[in-house]
Structure 1
């Protein structure tokens, strides 16, 4: 997957494209605990704090206990654990 990720930019692919289930490639890499893909996606310009209807990539990593991915995202400037959960709580409250 990592070579494919690196080649996306060469062919004009949208590194922040949304899937049919509201996930970006960074969401998918975080969900699958693919540390190298997370690093490559961030290096080629993936949005580290994509808005989403469900969870941010950081929230996925936290929920699944992927501490290495959590640390990578935090080191790159993503929302903190508390901020991510507050944003999600506020979003869910507004849906009620």
Structure 2
């Protein structure tokens, strides 16, 4: 995975989650990307406040093209914030490697 697009919207916004998931389906079927997670932020009483959908892409160029296409679509929900994050490889020591050098 080379890039992740985050879609953030208010939980009370009707139909946005299902609409975005409907758009993600064809991308996943084509093999260009996949749904990474759906997260919900809750307030102190446990009520949903906002939601984030993360869509991972094999190519940052494909992610950029999808974002631009969706933003230009008049049917795309106005209340959705989008962010493109490029994945950077990092080096880390796994716990097993530290235990058995």
TM-score grouping bracket, smaller chain normalisation: under 0.3
As a proportion of its length, which structure holds more strand?
2
As a proportion of its length, which structure holds more helix?
1
> TM-score w.r.t. structure 1 length?
0.27
Higher RCO structure (Cα 8 Å, ≥6 apart): 2
> TM-score w.r.t. structure 2 length?
0.26
Which has the higher Rg, Structure 1 or Structure 2? 2
